Structure 1
């Protein structure tokens, strides 16, 4: 019996080691079509998906990312916010879409559209037996990614996704998420700091145990320590400038 979508979601984990088995053109098309059927705000469809098959481009993207699985995978996708087609429509119809294209709301709509399409692609790939990993590391140098992919104004790269057949060496397991009670708030946000901190404390203990078991004691780190370290560093300070250069969030 085919497993349920719920069961599939509970098995998700990032795959970073793939077999050398390229995806077929038919599979690539199905994955993109699955992405296209995701919900889209007001039918705007403010995204595009760029498939990377050129080894030189993959190598250049790997240099930006710093991750070998940008090259070693079955196929590489790059997901972009795309208002270029809307810009062309605006010029052709002498419309008044510029305020929307340059607004913070426009950026949110595009980002949400991309995320929804990408999750459809990811879930479909996993249903087909493939593994995936998202690659936010492509934002390490947005200007270079834009140059490599020939992205015009109103098109902005958000992240990549490597897809492929998981290697036998890939022995990871799903990471436990935050407790249901911590994430789900009914009717009103439950902001009591004492309760929230207690839930986080218990979660930290669970994550420490996960890392210790997975690494045979080589790593013992709580979620709080991991997040504090990561978010305490100023990362990608040029993103706002790059967005502005592409015509985004100017008002």
Structure 2
């Protein structure tokens, strides 16, 4: 398990073989074994194999070609609609579903489930990559997938057999001393490791023809709403999709 976790990398180039129905069943079974707050299980997943639908989703998700190229694209859905329908059938109130805490639970539990599926895929010799860009245009993605009210695509996951010709590696992460604190948070001690990491990641990026270090990429990604590919409107769109998050 540790070897799978430490050796995980994002795969954006896939071989020709399909992901079988048995493999898909195993991935979802692993996902359903993940922790879930109060056993709410507030997520669903949509398996997309149709080439035309994958192409449309790729266009909605920043025109990333690997979304269409992957044999299987899983769209993970923060799904509060199931609980809403349960309340409607029972004639019960569900006012707590309107609050930010419940929306957060939906996204957190969806992520926990999907990460279980990623490790299960690795154990089967499959590669994957998360696709947050399905949140660029969540209303259009919801329409494409026929999502019910109170549900939103949290992220996608492209899955398939890794193509050995892909030029990629296991991207180095921040030193553990930059993220691990003992008893209390020590920002100065943690941040002292950033400069060294910038040098290491810059060297790694250079191997694959990518410019820049970690600090520069973080600042560029978070500089303002213009860097968010439309996601700065997410609260407004969640409200329209039935997740008001007040």
Tell me if structure 2 keeps the 8 A contact 1:20–1:72.
no
The SS at the match of 2:193 is: helix
Partner of 1:198: 192
1:94 counterpart = 2:88: no
- Runs of 4+ residues deviating >4 angstroms: none
CA deviation after TM superposition for structure 1 residue 52, in Å: 0.6
Name the SS of the counterpart of 1:105 in structure 2. helix
Aligned pairs, number: 241
1:77 aligned onto 2:65: no
Q: Specify the alignment match of 2:222 in structure 1.
A: 231
Query: How many angstroms does 1:191 deviate by?
Result: 2.3
Consecutive unaligned residues of structure 1, counting only runs of 5 or more, are none
Question: Which position in structure 1 is the counterpart of 2:46?
Answer: 50
CA distance in 1, matches of 2:43, 2:210: 39
1:126 correspondence with 2:122: yes
Per the TM alignment, residue 165 of structure 1 is displaced from its structure 2 partner at its CA by 0.6
State how far apart, in whole Å, the 2-side matches of 1:62 and 1:141 are: 11
Q: Partner of 2:203: helix, strand, or coil?
A: helix
Change (3 A) 1:78 1:190: same
Is the 8 Å Cα contact of residues 133 and 155 (structure 2) preserved in structure 1? yes
- Asked if 1:107 corresponds to 2:99, the answer is no
Q: What is the Cα-based RMSD across aligned positions, in Å?
A: 1.2
Note the C-alpha offset of 1:94. 1.7
Normalised to the residue count of structure 2, the TM-score between the two structures is: 0.94
Gaps of 5+ in 2: none
SS in 2 for 1:157: strand
CA distance in 2, matches of 1:68, 1:233: 26
State the Cα distance separating 1:16 from its structure 2 match: 0.3
Q: Distance in 2 between matches of 1:168 and 1:191?
A: 40
